Chain A
Amino acid sequence: MPAMTTHGGVLYYVVKVPKDGENSTDSGWDNPFRPGGDLSREADEIVELIKGGKPITPTPGQQPPPLPPTLEPPVAESPVERAPAPAGVATSAPSPRSANGTAAAKQAPVGAVDVQRAIVKPDGDGAQADHPWETVATAAWRKYPNPHNTAVIGTDVVERKVVDGVLHTHRLVSSIWYFPKWAQALIGSAKICYASERSEVNPSSRLMVLKTINLTFCRHIAVDETLRYTPDPSDPRRTLLKQEAVVTVKGVPLTNYMEDLLTNKISNNAGKGRQAMEWVINRLNDEVKDLTRSTDEILCQTKRSLDDIASSAKKQMGDISQKAKQSFDDMHSMRLS
């Protein structure tokens, strides 16, 4: 909003319009971003780009890893990958459609600093794989490398032991994420994110549970996910996957906006039962077929949401830029008259 000043009874606007090549950080017009902060500077940068007719996001070299449209045979010969999804086996299982579920959106109190976003929880039978539990469990260790998630660049076993016949494993999963430059102002420039994955495999009860939580993303967006692989009670040759994910956003400027985005994207849409699940599956299918659905998809979705934020911001900034220009023009015409 331009500042208003009076001079000798003449009312006019004082507005600084950033000019190309000119530092515009002190622009005085209304800004959805907080003045003085990183966001503000980013916003100025965006305006500059817009005014220069350049694309603002994503910046070159920051393109997200492509999601292969079709599923290739898993390359995974390297073992002990980050667990959740069987690349080798589950990938070829043709039964993702049997997944059914709803996502419950949990509206936690909206705080400025700590907002629990959404719980995505497929219900009912969950996803299925046409493979016995043993096969799926074995494959789960080999999920990466996976052409469908090139983001995961490393997995390390931090701790592993058998206790009472149950295999306990703690793994550190490293992924590399690419954000539009704009979104980096929100998330930080951290490109490598780490997740902690704890799992238990009980061969006698045929249960494999994996809990993953991302560590860095890091202080701002937390994804907490649980995957359970169990044999299909009605058909031992099949395996069921149950999944629950909690996405938390905190300490992020524009938190409310992100909240809306995440809630809409993950919860509301997914909360419409079967139809919504269909939507989710369609969306995720290319990348994850089947049991390969895991934290990655949530992260990916979060990333997409951020892209949305970026484009929305672009729009807003465009408006602002427009308004500023308008004011500038007004000022000119006032002066002239």
Chain B
Amino acid sequence: MNSIGEACNDLKKEYDACFNMWFSDHFLKGNTDESMCAPLFKVYQQCVKKAMKEQKIDLQEVSKDILGGKHEKKVENS
């Protein structure tokens, strides 16, 4: 599955692979330490946020309008 940002696809795949392993082998077994995929997540995130900005996708606005703000505090600024 691709990212919205084409440039992020490779980063996403790497991160996803890491996350899936972490999720089943660590997280579900009680190890909640996130550091394993953190570096991959960070670069992937930066790429995605840039892509979202470029494509003018604003999740914050959405949350406000549709969810009535109930998730606002969770929304990360793009």
Contacts and interface: CB of A to CB of B under 8 A. Distances in A.
Nearest to A167: B27
Interface in B8-50: 8, 12-13, 15-17, 19-20, 23-24, 27-30, 32, 34, 41, 44-45, 48-49
A119 interface: no
Contacts of A224: 66
Interface residues of B, number: 38
A138 B23 contact: yes
B74 A198 contact: yes
Interface residues of A, number: 40
A170 B59 contact: yes
Nearest to A248: B66
A240 interface: no
A156 interface: yes
Chain B binding surface SS class: helix
B57 interface: yes
A100 B11 CA distance: 41
Contacts of B45: 157-158
Nearest to A162: B32
Contact of A156 (B12, B30, B63): B12
Interface stretch (A24-32, A39-47, A76-84): A76-84
B53 interface: no
A320 B15 CA distance: 57
B19 A80 contact: yes
A158 B20 contact: no
A203 B30 CA distance: 7
Nearest to B8: A156
A222 interface: yes
Contacts of A194: 57
B27 A201 contact: yes
Interface stretch (A10-18, A147-155, A183-191, A291-299): A147-155
Contacts of A244: none
A174 B52 CA distance: 11
Contact of A170 (B17, B23, B34, B74): B74
Nearest to B41: A160
A154 B27 contact: no
B20 A157 contact: no
B76 A170 contact: yes
A246 B75 CA distance: 22
A162 B20 contact: no
Contacts of B67: 213
A172 interface: yes
B34 A145 contact: no
Nearest to A146: B1
In the A-B complex, the 3 residue pairs with the closest CB atoms? A79-B16, A79-B20, A80-B16
Interface of A: 76, 78-82, 134, 137-138, 141-142, 144-145, 152-162, 165, 167-168, 170, 172, 174, 194, 196, 198, 201, 203-204, 213, 215, 222, 224
Interface of B: 1-5, 8, 12-13, 15-17, 19-20, 23-24, 27-30, 32, 34, 41, 44-45, 48-49, 51-52, 57, 59, 62-63, 66-67, 71, 74-76
